[in-house]
């Protein structure tokens, strides 16, 4: 079961499951707004981190490290302005990371690590999808997160109603109703 390892009361579990389900539905319905807002928030945090870190360590940084910070600041400003470009950059980076091992294993005909081949192949496909259709890729990721939240909330709600106090109440009411008959039939 989902929440067996936690010591939660039924009211707490009910609140958790309903909030998970509701947040998942909101993620599914408002995926474009949530994705853009999440990317903008992450880019604002990255921008703040880069500014603070650059200001505090400017004297100790080499020219190469300073350039990395300037590139990160420029990328975060670009991500704040156009959040879709973030998925384009993620797709390019993912393609850069997954293609060389895939090509090398095909070149040397080493197919022994099937899991790594599948992961690299899926990474190449997702990177290609992110590059071709960056806006829809961001929405797709948010929708997948929403589906996961909704399923988790529904499973927790099902577990709550199928076990615990609710199951005992159902059994008790079923036993009580079994022996009750018509009213005032005890004197017959």
> Is 184 domain-assigned?
no
> Is 26 domain-assigned?
yes
> Is 2 domain-assigned?
no
On whether the CB atoms of residues 97 and 119 are closer than 8 A, the answer is: no
Number of domains in the chain: 1
Backbone phi and psi for residue 74, each to the nearest 5 degrees, phi listed first: -65, -40
**pLDDT at residue 183 greater than cutoff 80:** no
On whether the CB atoms of residues 80 and 43 are closer than 8 A, the answer is: yes
For the stretch 13-23, pLDDT in tens is: 788 888 989 99
For the stretch 123-171, pLDDT in tens is: 999 899 888 887 788 888 889 999 999 999 888 888 877 776 666 666 6
Tokens matching residue 154: 């529904």
Instruction: Find the domain containing 162 and state its range.
Output: 10-172
> Is 180 domain-assigned?
no
> Is 179 domain-assigned?
no
> Is 154 domain-assigned?
yes
> Is 177 domain-assigned?
no
Q: How many CB atoms lie within 10 A of CB 32?
A: 15
Listed in sequence order, the DSSP H helices in 108-133 are 114-132
For the stretch 89-136, pLDDT in tens is: 888 889 999 999 888 888 888 878 788 889 989 999 989 988 888 778
| Separation between Cα atoms, residue 128 and residue 180, nearest integer Å | 68
> Is 31 domain-assigned?
yes
Work out the angle between the directed axes of helices 134-162 and 114-132 (0-180°, nearest 10). 120
């Amino acid at each position: 079961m989902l929440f067996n390892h936690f010591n939660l009361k039924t009211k707490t579990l009910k609140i958790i499951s309903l909030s998970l389900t509701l947040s998942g539905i909101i993620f599914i319905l408002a995926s474009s707004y949530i994705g853009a807002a999440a990317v903008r928030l992450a880019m604002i945090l990255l921008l703040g981190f880069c500014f603070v870190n650059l200001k505090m360590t400017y004297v100790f940084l080499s020219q190469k490290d300073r350039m990395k910070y300037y590139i990160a600041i420029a990328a975060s400003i670009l991500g704040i302005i156009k959040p879709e470009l973030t998925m384009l950059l993620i797709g390019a980076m993912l393609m850069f990371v997954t293609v060389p091992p895939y090509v090398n294993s095909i070149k040397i005909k080493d197919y022994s690590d099937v899991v790594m081949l599948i992961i690299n192949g899926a990474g190449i496909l997702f990177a290609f999808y992110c590059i071709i259709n960056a806006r829809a890729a961001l929405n797709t990721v948010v929708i997948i997160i929403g589906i996961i939240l909704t399923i988790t909330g529904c499973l927790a709600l099902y577990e709550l109603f199928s076990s615990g106090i609710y199951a005992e109440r159902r059994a008790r009411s079923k036993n009580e109703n079994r022996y009750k008959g018509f009213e005032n039939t005890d004197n017959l």
